[in-house]
Amino acid sequence: MLDDLKFIHQRDGADALGIAERQASQLTYKFDKPAVSGPFENVVYAGMGGSALAALLSRSWPGYNLPFEISRQYHIPGYVSDKTLVISCSCSGNTEETLSALAEAEGKGAKIVIIAGGGKLEEIASAKSYPFLKLPKAEQPRYAVLYNLVALLTVLEAARLVDEADINAQLAEAGAFLTETVKAWTATVPTAQNEAKKLALEMAGKSPVIYGGPLMAPVAYKWKISFNENAKNIAWWGEYPEFNHNEMIGWSSHPIDKPYAVVDLRSTLEHERIQKRFEVTERLLSGLRPAPHIVNVQGKNLLEQIVGAVAFGDFVTIYTALLNNVDPAPVELVERFKKELG
């Protein structure tokens, strides 16, 4: 089925596979640098769903040398002040939680930057002269995560919170790496040689559970979202080492034949004790849970590993969508929910 290009074309109406194949170009997109003046004591990023994914990834790379928090709700942290950089992000520009958080940030005198694809956030930025970065149009927010990451990095560069030259060099190298890497997962590569198709076949009919160490945990969460929204498949995610302090016990009881598919995202850049935890866990839970599908993420540095693992998850979940006989792109229930919520 996954080698039938006619079937794929019929089911993948928005060309999600093509978007996944081309996403490397997002890493070299150039945003106009905003005027952002510090110094800052902390950074708060307000965003929901796919609009928050880039912020999650940024905690692994490039990381922060001052307190950084992601607000995925209607409110902002109580410590926000005029020394806080608040980045409000919504691909649609109309996310109500983000708009509420922005209003609170204004009330506290925070320095505000807006990242959006348009909507009310763009109108607010224009009316109040807030620094504004406009995201290129994307079929869905989860397909624009790398655009969003570059926009966030542009803000951090302007605020002098990251090294601009080093960031841009790594982005360019990661773009070249990803362009080559995804070629092995495209629709024209037959299943026998296509690791993304193979893993999708293992996921079909099951509920995926994706695990990562601290560096790969944001990627595991991205996989979870992609299974939800691409494949219309319930999925969960978890993080080591916390997993070993509670969740692993949940796998140790009945029933032994559990309807799940476990995926471990393993990076050689994780702390050596994290790598050992994966190995010991696999041995101790053998026979008590489905054997994990081990994804050894590739790349010579952390950014390459992150973008490569993100892209691999995109292909796996899009192929799972096709096996589930659904169109990967639309999220009709979310749109209906927003309408009924009013």
Query: Which positions are catalytic?
Result: 229, 245, 338
Handedness of CA 211, 215, 217, 222 (dihedral sign): negative
Q: Which residue reads 């002269």 in tokens?
A: 129
Contacts of 27 (CB under 8 A, 6+ apart): 146, 149, 150, 171, 172, 174, 175, 178, 307
Residue pair 60/299 in contact (Cβ under 8 Å)? The answer is: no
Conformational region of residue 308, where left means phi above 0, alpha means psi within -120 to 50, and beta covers everything else: alpha
Residue 122 identity: E
Please state the φ and ψ torsions of residue 174, each to the nearest 5 degrees. Answer: -65, -35
Nearest Cα to Cα of residue 308 among 225, 229, 236, 215: 215
State which H helix or E strand residue 278 sits in: helix 272-284
Contacts of 223 (CB under 8 A, 6+ apart): 208, 210, 235, 237, 263, 265, 313, 316, 317
Nearest Cα to Cα of residue 229 among 319, 117, 318, 135: 318
Residue 177 identity: F
State which H helix or E strand residue 295 sits in: strand 293-296
Residue pair 155/167 in contact (Cβ under 8 Å)? The answer is: no
Nearest Cα to Cα of residue 72 among 90, 92, 94: 90
Give the number of other CB atoms < 10 A from CB of residue 102: 24
| CA dist., res. 338 & res. 331, Å (int) | 11
